[in-house]
Amino acid sequence: MSELRKHYFLDNYCLIASGRSKRPSAPKACGDEEKVTSCVFCNGHENETPAATAVYKNGEILKDTDNQRVTGWDVRCIPNLYPALSPEAPDVQHPLFEVMKGYGFHEVIIENPLHESKLSNFSDDELFLLMKVYRDRVMHYQSQERIEYVSLFKNLGKNAGASLEHTHTQLIAVPLIPVTIKKEKKAIEELKSCPYCDIIKKEQGKERMVYENENFILIAPYYSRSPYEMWMLPKKHLHHISVFNEQMLMSLGDCIRKAVSLLEKTIPELAYNYMFFQTENDRSYHFNIRIAPVTSIAAGFEKNTDIYINTIPPETAVKHLLEKE
């Protein structure tokens, strides 16, 4: 079982999760070297995973039971077999130090039943469904008792921390507001207007803009910690995916597909993470997604100073990304 340990004197937490050391690594479980024969995320292998918490099929939302798995699904949400946090976490004590029990939820969203499917090839309908699933699952966990934040993220490629190859997104619901969000909220409180609205004003139509559609803008931010980092922002000031209507969800899906497609065309053996930043109750926050391809290593200098060395200026990154279009 896991525990959330607080730093000796800073407002930071780490998650000690010894159970996760048993999880499979990509090449063994689902590698392309030895031709995939048994990926547990694939269509037809539903019995090899825990029972699904939500199965999207032909416009309906179903559930597995312990004895009966839904087959022929479009998107399938299952508990992570090696959860970082668990709803049944036992209490834990360290007399001299601060700790919270590892209470929470860890879910895998299998985006498509086919092993070879890729986000960049998703149809508009498939993307729209996936965005609806993102919205549903975030709202579901956000409403659970004692859950303060739902982290939604995708790891693609072994270098980005993915342990399975089949296209999937993860969701970890935690009983605290992470320091990343707290820090931004505090800075925003001290400002008079939304800094993200200001970013849109400054970057839209300029050299660091990569793409825009009706509702979203995609930029390589002025402050870029790593090569080809991109941010997606809704043009309207909206704080959370729960307030997105269908048009917004469609635009969001389109923007994610565009970002991923451009990266695929530009970076060989692409690995990336994308992360949703949002707040449930604080309307002063501006929803955003950051996508970071893994092309470099955070080494001693970064770990010492938190100053990231980026060898490709965002202005150059945009040129590279758009010349392949």
Q: x/- site string to its own copies, residues 86 to 125, per CB under 8 A?
A: --------x-xx----------------------------
Computed on alpha carbons and rounded to an integer, the radius of gyration of the chain in Å comes to 20
- Which residues from 206-235 bind its own copies, rule CB under 8 A? 221-225
Torsion angle defined by CA atoms of residues 48, 272, 21 and 28, in that order, rounded to the nearest 10 degrees: 50
Is 277 an interacting residue with respect to its own copies (CB under 8 A)? yes
Closest to its own copies by CB, 51 vs 176, is: 176
Is residue 297 a contact point for its own copies (CB under 8 A)? Answer: yes
Residue 205, sorted as left (phi over 0), alpha (psi -120 to 50) or beta, turns out to be left
| Helix (H/G/I), strand (E/B), else coil: 77 | strand
**Which residues between 178 and 207 bind its own copies (CB under 8 A)?**
178-181, 183-184, 187-188, 191, 195, 198-199, 202
Task: Pick the closer one to its own copies by CB: 20 or 265.
Answer: 20
Closer CB to its own copies, 42 or 152, in the complex? 152
In this structure, are residues 187 and 195 in contact, taking their beta carbons and an 8 Å threshold?
yes
In sequence order, the 6+-apart residues with CB closer than 8 A to the CB of 146 are 103, 175
The reply to whether 4 sits near its own copies by the rule CB under 8 A is yes
Name the β-bridge partners of 60. 57
Closest distance of CB 183 from its own copies, Å: 7
* Site track for its own copies across 301-320, x = CB under 8 A: x-xxxxxxxxxxxx-x----
Stretch that binds its own copies, among 5-13, 43-51, 131-139, 237-245 (CB under 8 A): 5-13
Of residues 153-172, those binding its own copies (CB under 8 A):
153-155, 159-162, 170, 172
Nearer to its own copies, 62 or 309 (CB): 309
Task: Give the nearer residue to its own copies in terms of CB position, either 25 or 123.
Answer: 25
What torsion, rounded to 10 degrees, do the Cα atoms 16, 18, 19, 23 define?
Answer: 100
Task: Give DSSP secondary structure letters for 156-172.
Answer: ESGGGT-S--S-EEEEE
Are 166 and 114 contacting, i.e. CB atoms less than 8 angstroms apart?
A: no
| Smallest separation (angstroms) from its own copies to the CB of 269 | 15
- Whether the CB-CB separation of 233 and 199 falls below 8 Å is answered with yes
Q: Does 146 interact with its own copies (rule: CB under 8 A)? A: no
